[in-house]
C-alpha cells in the first residue's frame, strides 16, 4: 500500500510539472465582452461567422431561421447569409469536404454550435478563451499552415482573418526562476497592417464571440429574465406565506 501511495504521489508531481512546463510560454486569457443582449453586435457576429467560419466549421444544431431571434428578417437572412444552402430552415452546415479537411488540417474542423460553452477552463469562460484564441495568431513558417497561436500552440487551424488583422509577431521576455526558464508575453509587433485597425478587429472578434455565446444557448437571455421574475415571485410569496402562517396560529398556544 505504501508503495502504491508513493507511486501516485510521484505521478501527480510529474503531471503538475509537465503542466507547469507546458503552460510556461502560454498567455492568460483576455476578458471577452459579454454583450449577448446587443442585437447589433450579434448581427455583426453572425455575418462574420457565416463569411469566415462556416466554410470549414458547421453549426449543425443551429438553423438559419433562428437568427430571427436577433432581429434579422427572413428576407435579410436569405439575401445576406445563405451561402451554403438555399433554404432558410436548414441547419448551418459547412461546405468543406470532410476528407479534404482531414488531409489539409489533420482533423475535421469541430462543430461550433456549443463551442463557447465547451471551452471554459481555469483561465476563464469559453468566451474568454475564444476571444483570446482568435486574436493571438502569428506567422510561423515552421508550421504547415504558416501560422501558430499563443492560446493554442501548434494549432492546425490557419489564421483565416489575417487580412483583417495583418501579420504580427509576439514579443517575449525570458525570465529564470529556481533554474526554470519561462517566456513572459509582453505584447505584439505589427509586421504588416491589416484592413482593420487593431480596435476595429478586436470589436469584430468580440461580436463574433458574442454570437458564438448566443448560439450555444439562444434562450439564455430569456431564461435569465424569467428566472429573475420567478425569484422575485418566490420572495414575495414567502413573505405572504410567513404572515399567513403567523395569522392562522396566533391564537393557538
3-state SS track over 2-42: HHHHHHHHHHHHHHHHHHHHHHCCCCCCCCCCCCCCCHHHH
56 carries a ligand binding annotation = yes
Rounded Cα distance between 70 and 81, Å, is 14
122 carries a ligand binding annotation = no
Q: Per the structure block, which three cell numbers stand in for 193?
A: 497592417
- Strands (E) across the chain are located at 59-63, 91-92, 137-139, 147-149, 166-177, 180-193
53 carries a ligand binding annotation = yes
Write the CA distances from 220 to 7, 23, 92, 127, integer angstroms: 46, 33, 20, 14
Which residue ranges make up the annotated binding site for heme c? 53, 56-57
Q: Known binding site: residues?
A: 53, 56-57
Amino acid at each position: 500500500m505504501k508503495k502504491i501511495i508513493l507511486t501516485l504521489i510521484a505521478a501527480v508531481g510529474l503531471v503538475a510539472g509537465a503542466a507547469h512546463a507546458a503552460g510556461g510560454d502560454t498567455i492568460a486569457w483576455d476578458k471577452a465582452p459579454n454583450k449577448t443582449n446587443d442585437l447589433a453586435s450579434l448581427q455583426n457576429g453572425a455575418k462574420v461567422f457565416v463569411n469566415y467560419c462556416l466554410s470549414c466549421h458547421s453549426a449543425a444544431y443551429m438553423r438559419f431561421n433562428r437568427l430571427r431571434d436577433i432581429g434579422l428578417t427572413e428576407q435579410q437572412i436569405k439575401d445576406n447569409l445563405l451561402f451554403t444552402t438555399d433554404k432558410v430552415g436548414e441547419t448551418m452546415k459547412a461546405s468543406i469536404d470532410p476528407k479534404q479537411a482531414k488531409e489539409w488540417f489533420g482533423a475535421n474542423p469541430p462543430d461550433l454550435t456549443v463551442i463557447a460553452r465547451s471551452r471554459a477552463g481555469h483561465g476563464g469562460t469559453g468566451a474568454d478563451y475564444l476571444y483570446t484564441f482568435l486574436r493571438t495568431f502569428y506567422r510561423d513558417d515552421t508550421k504547415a499552415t504558416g501560422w501558430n497561436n499563443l492560446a493554442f500552440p501548434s494549432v492546425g487551424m490557419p489564421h483565416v482573418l489575417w487580412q483583417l488583422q495583418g501579420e504580427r509577431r509576439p514579443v517575449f521576455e525570458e525570465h529564470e526562476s529556481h533554474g526554470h526558464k519561462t517566456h513572459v508575453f509582453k505584447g505584439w509587433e505589427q509586421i504588416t497592417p491589416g484592413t482593420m485597425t487593431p480596435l476595429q478587429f478586436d470589436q469584430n472578434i468580440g461580436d463574433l464571440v458574442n454570437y458564438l455565446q448566443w448560439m450555444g444557448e439562444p434562450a439564455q437571455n430569456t431564461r435569465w429574465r424569467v428566472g429573475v421574475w420567478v425569484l422575485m415571485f418566490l420572495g414575495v410569496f414567502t413573505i405572504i406565506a410567513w404572515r399567513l402562517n403567523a395569522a392562522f396560529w396566533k391564537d393557538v398556544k
